Amino acid sequence: MSATLQDHEFLTRVLALAQRSRDEGHHPFAAMVVAADGTVISQAMNASSSDRTAHAEMNALRLASQQYSPQQLATATLYANAEPCAMCSGGTYWSGVGRVVYAMSEASLLELTGSDPENPTLSLPCRSVFAAGQRPTEVIGPLREDEARAAHKDFWHK
């Protein structure tokens, strides 16, 4: 399946939120969980400077999971400015969210971060994590990688 107009609209919002995360002194990551009808269930920025597991996706998924069951989240979409890492992919799977749309691939992120100890990248695509599960998770991305790179420009110390 290909990206919809709604997907691009929410990616635009997530890209802006990632820039805000950076502007507020956090790593430049953001995520949103959106219901099939376009209702924003949750949104979050990265907070891993105080908790290494507080990635934007995990924060948004925790908020969504407090309000909705996995069955209700099955038709929701997780939007992220970068491909969910292995931890966030696992969180997406366990939350029940059935769809992921992201702007920049993990491989492109690694090009930007290099060996920066603040982002020790796991080279494990989210599609591989989801493929190991017992239910399907639709993945669309990468989309709009050049735009997604903007929030990361000159942020990482390679």
Catalytic residues: 57
- What's the Cα-to-Cα distance from 99 to each of 63, 66, 91, 114, rounded to whole Å? 17, 18, 13, 28
Q: Which two tokens stand for residue 126?
A: 């989210």
SS3 115: coil
- Give me the residues paired with residue 140 across strands: 101
Contact 9, 32 (CB under 8 A): no
Q: CA 133 to CA 51: how far, in whole Å?
A: 27
**Number of neighbouring beta carbons within 10 Å of residue 133:** 13
